[in-house]
Amino acid sequence: MGSALPQVDSLRQERVSKKLREFLPERSVLWQPEDTRPYECDGLTAYRRVPMVVALPETEEQVQRILRACHEMDVCVVPRGAGTGLSGGALPPGDGVLLSMAKFMRVLRVDPVARIAVVQPGVRNAAISDVVSPFGLYYAPDPSSQIACSIGGNVAENSGGVHCLKYGLTVHNVLRVRGYTIEGEPVDFGSEALDAPGYDLLALAIGSEGLLAVTTEVTVRLLPKPETACVIMASFDDVKKAGDAVAAVIAAGIVPAGLEMMDKPATAAVEQFVHAGYDLEAAAILLCESDGSAEEVEEEIARMKDVLAKAGATRLAVSRDDAERLRFWSGRKAAFPAVGRISPDYYCMDGTIPKKRLGEVLSFVGAMEKKYGLRCPNVFHAGDGNLHPLILFDANNPEELKRTEAFAAEVLEKCIEVGGTITGEHGVGVEKIDQMCVQFAAPELEAFHAVKRVFDAKGLLNPGKGVPTLHRCAEFGRMRVHGGKLSHPNLPRF
């Protein structure tokens, strides 16, 4: 898509900003190109569009009024948290309003007895753990972007992180989400109780990519900080062996606190950047963490070392103290910016596959590197089977961007072929919208559209993201024809 020149309908722009300024202070409505351009993309920088108007509300009432006004004027709205998303979910509308939730930064309540915190959506993921740390508690899902990304974005994407193998994704750690529909109607999903009767609408809201409602408050579950933790860095002389070792650890009945993998090109890029102490001779390394009481950790580390050695590890280094453990993780967490230093751009894929197919899919990615003539370091949440191949390219070269997109599409479709999915934690956004046609059959997509219409009949909230129209799938020409038992005569057709 590249950076589109703003071709704004100035009459529409004036009408919308004037309407919003009726109840928002002047500083909270941006429309001049020098003010709106910083919002032109999220972390998927290959796709850019300057928003027509940016609204920066500070209160729930303002959010409600913005949504009502846009609904009345038939103007679309795209919610935005910190803009670190990697699937273009917060890509702005060129003819609508980008709704930044960045000013919703307050922790509203911490209840250490119930082990919950109630926070506004703009609160950074890492800030939650910082605030509750004096109570010996923390918020478990830890995306590598956690120092920057917001909890509202995490809820919208159902974000994961290196510790989600043991502690679950966002959906397993959020109890309640409050917000507003595009019509400005309040919605409240879930509760502080363990379970609620009726359909699980909280699970529907989490991962809905800002398509159903704008989140204004999130209640998160907190966990006691583990007494201790320790990580093994295991080296392998072959990527497939490392992939198979992941399956062996899980098959041994062990649930590590984290089980991550990086191949040689990824460790080389990271080491120059953060000096994490990785084995640069290894074809791939695994990071396997154990946490709990000192006895549990000692026992689990010994078991994991045994399984990894039997799976062919050439070297096993165990962190000697917490500083070394954090240093090992700092490399993994800095992997994306590290590859960003060795290439003008990188395209981070996010497919999930059954763990036993890891080795096979890695070999496929290697074959695609040769086919498309593009380098592709691999970093991933191996324990979850969640791959993040990072294609290195130059977005200023349109032909290279096309090759990158084709490379990514082949890998995502390979994930589906082996029984996996096209996303693990980054969402569909605009990036993977065509692959949704391969993942789902028409009746399933129709059901998704029916759900959307319940919340947003006019289709104004984050349009063009997440779920493709059947028309788009027909044009893409790769619609899945089998499966999908959801067809019902009363489901609307699109």
Ligand X SMILES: Cc1cc2nc3c(=O)[nH]c(=O)nc-3n(C[C@H](O)[C@H](O)[C@H](O)COP(=O)(O)OP(=O)(O)OC[C@H]3O[C@@H](n4cnc5c(N)ncnc54)[C@H](O)[C@@H]3O)c2cc1C
Site residues for ligand X per CB under 6 A: 42-43, 78-86, 89-90, 101, 121, 143-145, 149-150, 152-154, 156-157, 159-161, 209-210, 214-215, 336-337, 425-426, 462
The whole-angstrom separation of Cα 36 and Cα 55 is 10
352 bridge partner residues: 386, 421
CB of 245 to ligand X, least distance (A): 21
CB of 189 to ligand X, least distance (A): 12
The two structure tokens encoding residue 287: 């990071």
Q: Please identify which residue in the block is written with the tokens 């729930």.
A: 60
Helices (H), 80-183: 125-132, 151-157, 164-167
CB of 99 to ligand X, least distance (A): 8
Task: Tell me which amino acid residue 450 is.
Answer: A
State which residue, 160 or 256, has the beta carbon closest to ligand X: 160
209 phi-psi bin (left φ>0, alpha ψ -120 to 50, beta other)? left
State which residue, 129 or 144, has the beta carbon closest to ligand X: 144
CB of 315 to ligand X, least distance (A): 26
State which residue, 79 or 359, has the beta carbon closest to ligand X: 79
CB of 237 to ligand X, least distance (A): 27
Classify burial at 438, counting beta carbons within 10 Å of its beta carbon; exposed 0-12, middle 13-18, buried 19 or more. buried
State which residue, 174 or 311, has the beta carbon closest to ligand X: 174
Distance of CA 217 to the CA centre of its chain: 19
Closest residue to ligand X, based on beta-carbon distance: 153
Judge contact between 176 and 144, C-beta under 8 A: no
State which residue, 157 or 291, has the beta carbon closest to ligand X: 157
The Cβ of residue 352 has, within 10 Å, a number of other Cβ atoms equal to 20
State which residue, 132 or 182, has the beta carbon closest to ligand X: 182
Nearest in space to 174 (alpha carbons), one of 197, 150, 191, 186: 191
State which residue, 142 or 291, has the beta carbon closest to ligand X: 142
The whole-angstrom separation of Cα 449 and Cα 444 is 9
CB of 424 to ligand X, least distance (A): 8
CB of 386 to ligand X, least distance (A): 9
CB of 297 to ligand X, least distance (A): 23
State which residue, 308 or 430, has the beta carbon closest to ligand X: 430
Nearest in space to 52 (alpha carbons), one of 4, 89, 85: 4
The whole-angstrom separation of Cα 126 and Cα 303 is 31
Helices (H), 234-357: 239-251, 264-274, 294-310, 322-333, 335-342
